[in-house]
C-alpha cells in the first residue's frame, strides 16, 4: 500500500484542519486538496492509501484518498485534486522535517493509528520526550 505525506500549511493543529475541511465539505460537497503535481502512482494511492498530514513538525493525522483527478485552473495550469474521506484519523505523532509539495510514504514507514482512549502528551512535549528517547 502506498500513501502520501503533506504539510498542512497554515494549520496550527488538528482542530484547525478539521474546521477548514468541514467548511470545504459544506461549500463544495466534498473534502479535497489541490496540488500542482499529479502523482504518477495514483492508482496505488486510490487502493487504500491515505494522505498523512504534518502539523507543526509532526505527522499527526491521515485521511483516506478516495480519488485522484486532474483539472485545469482558470489560468490554464494543470492541477491535481485529491478527493479525501472526510474522516480524519489521528496517528501516533511522528517527527518530520519541513519539505515542499508532497512525498510518497510506503506503508511500512507510515505512523500507526492512535487507538481510542490512548493518552499522549501534548505534541510539543511528545516531540521532546521522543528526542530524549523516553517515548
User: Per-residue pLDDT tens for 28-71?
Assistant: 999 999 999 999 999 999 999 999 999 999 999 999 999 999 99
- Give the pLDDT of residue 116: 67
> Can you give the residue range of the structural domain that contains 44?
2-131
- Give the pLDDT of residue 89: 96
Q: How far apart are the C-alpha atoms of 42 and 45, rounded to whole Å?
A: 5
- Give the pLDDT of residue 135: 65
The pTM for the full model equals 0.85
With 90 as the cut, is the pLDDT of residue 121 above it? Answer: no
Grid cell for residue 36:
500542482
Domain total of the chain? 1
- Give the pLDDT of residue 77: 94
Q: How far apart are the C-alpha atoms of 107 and 52, rounded to whole Å?
A: 11
108-118 tens-digit pLDDT: 999 999 876 55
Burial class, 118, CB count within 10 angstroms (exposed 0-12 / middle 13-18 / buried 19+)? exposed
- Give the pLDDT of residue 118: 58
Amino acid at each position: 500500500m502506498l500513501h502520501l505525506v503533506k504539510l498542512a500549511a497554515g494549520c496550527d493543529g488538528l482542530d484547525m484542519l478539521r474546521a477548514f475541511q468541514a467548511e470545504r465539505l459544506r461549500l463544495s460537497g466534498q473534502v479535497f486538496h489541490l496540488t500542482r503535481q499529479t502523482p504518477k502512482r495514483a492508482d496505488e494511492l486510490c487502493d487504500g492509501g491515505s494522505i498523512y498530514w504534518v502539523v507543526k513538525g509532526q505527522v499527526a493525522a491521515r485521511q483516506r484518498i478516495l480519488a485522484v483527478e486532474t483539472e485545469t485552473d482558470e489560468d490554464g495550469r494543470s492541477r491535481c485534486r485529491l478527493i479525501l474521506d472526510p474522516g480524519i484519523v489521528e496517528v501516533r505523532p511522528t517527527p518530520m522535517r519541513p519539505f515542499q509539495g508532497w512525498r510518497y510514504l510506503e506503508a511500512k514507514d507510515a505512523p500507526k493509528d492512535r487507538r481510542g482512549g490512548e493518552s499522549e502528551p501534548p505534541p510539543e512535549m511528545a516531540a521532546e520526550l521522543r528526542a530524549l528517547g523516553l517515548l
